[in-house]
Structures are given as C-alpha cells and as structure tokens.
Amino acid sequence: MAEVPNNPGNKVTLDELIDRAKSAAELAALADKHPTARADLETQVRIDESLARLFAAPTAGEGRGSQRGELLRVPRPRWLPWAAAAALLLAGAGVWWFVLRANGPDVLSPAYREVVAAGFKPEEVCTTDEAFVQWCRLYMRQPIYPTSHPDGLEYVGWSKGKIISPISGVLLVRMSGEPVLVVLERTDRQTITPGPSVDPSLHVFRKRIGEVMLYEISPKSKAVVLPALSGTKG
C-alpha cells in the first residue's frame, strides 16, 4: 500500500484512511500523521462513548426493560472495527472499553450455532431449581433463581465455554422445542461486551443480575428465559 503523504495542506479524511489502510495499526499510524483525520477519529470515539452511556446495560430494577430483557439493537458504524482498534493504539485501552460497550462483536450467534450443531448437549444436566441455584453460586459466585416456569420452557443443563471470557457460563434451554442459549458472565471478568447478532434469524437480549450479565441468544423475537430469572427468590 502506498503511504499517504504527510502534507499539511492536503486534507485527508478519516474515510479515505480507512479505505486505504489494511490493518488497525496502519490506520493508527496514518491518522497520527494527519491531524484532521486524527481529530475526526477522536471525535468518533467521543460520540461512541456517549452512545455507550446511552445504551449501557441496565442493572436489575432499572425499569421494565431490565426485567423483560432488552433487545440489543445498537447501530454499528462503518468505521468499526478498524477505527476502534486504531483508537486503542492512539489513545489507550480506556477508549476501547467505551467503543466495545456500544459496538461489541457478535460472539453469541456463532456460539449458538456451535452448541446446536454439537447436538445441544450440556456438560451438566439441570434437574432441579436447587441445582440451578447451586451451579450459579459455584461458577458465578452468586445465586440466580428460576422464579417462574413458563409453559414450554425446559432447562436442559449447563456448560462452560470461551465466549465472553475463557470460562463463560452457558445455559441450554428449550422453548417449545426450540433451542435457546443464555451466556452468563461476571462483570469483573468480562473481556468484551457482545454486540447484536449479525444473523437475522437470531436475536440477542440482555439483563444484569447483581454482578452477572446474562445474554440470551434465540430465534424467538422476545426474551423467554431472562424474565424467568432473578437474583432473589420469587
């Protein structure tokens, strides 16, 4: 790739650099040589930080959305992911956190497809509510209770996988026979924040219970598992 000349009189836009760069590192290096483009990149980061605050995951009790599961429908600008990675190189890891909160990668639909393709078999079968709570207490370091049992909802069992962190909890559920997955992760070991599904046949919902984020990935158009889970006994 021919390097863009560092000519102060020749304005280079951020879009031009994104089109020419072949990696985040190249984009960061080029933006660093062009004050206008770098300023645009930093402006985008500040905008994304505002979006992150606007779309931040609700904590338990923050309105009806946190109880029913909030559908993730956050826009993904064309300048991600390279500009986000370049922002990390230019401004440090603090920026990357804000970018990912609003525009995280789709790691949930691939996990869903993998679990379904493997036969939808859990590592540990879930037989009782007490066993459910004990699993959460052991692996999430806090209890989570199934406070309701909607018609057609079957808790199949638990697994663990490298999804959000190396040891994300995975709850396998069937709703009227259809596979539904819930990925659980403690906020203190969450290395990324999952974004919406790029697969139009799958939907992602989220809910926070105490220090645990729960992400439901499902072919259903509304959350079916998250409303049935709580941090306290029903």
Higher pLDDT pick, 233 / 27: 233
3-state secondary structure the chain: CCCCCCCCCCCCCHHHHHHHCCCHHHHHHHHHHCHHHHHHHHHHHHHHHHHHHHCCCCCCCCCHHHHHCEECCCCCCCCCCHHHHHHHHHHCHHHHHHHHHHHCCCCHHHHHHHHHHCCCCCCEECCCHHHHHHHHHHHCCCCCEECCCCCCEEEEEEEEECCCCCCEEEEEEEECCEEEEEEEEEHHHCCCCCCCCCCCCCEEEEEEECCEEEEEEECCCCCCCHHHEECCCC
Say what the pLDDT of residue 97 is.
35
- Which of 35-39, 94-98, 154-158 is predicted with the least confidence, judged by mean pLDDT? 94-98
pLDDT at position 128 over 80:
yes
Confidence band for 83, pLDDT divided at 50, 70 and 90: low
Out of 41-50, 82-91, 124-133, the most confident range is 124-133
Q: When comparing pLDDT for 61 and 137, which is higher?
A: 137
**pLDDT single digits (tens) 178-196:** 999 999 999 988 888 898 8
Residue bearing the bigger pLDDT, 54 or 46: 46
Q: Specify the pLDDT at position 31.
A: 72
* Domains of the chain, start order: 14-103 (no CATH), 108-230 (3.30.200)
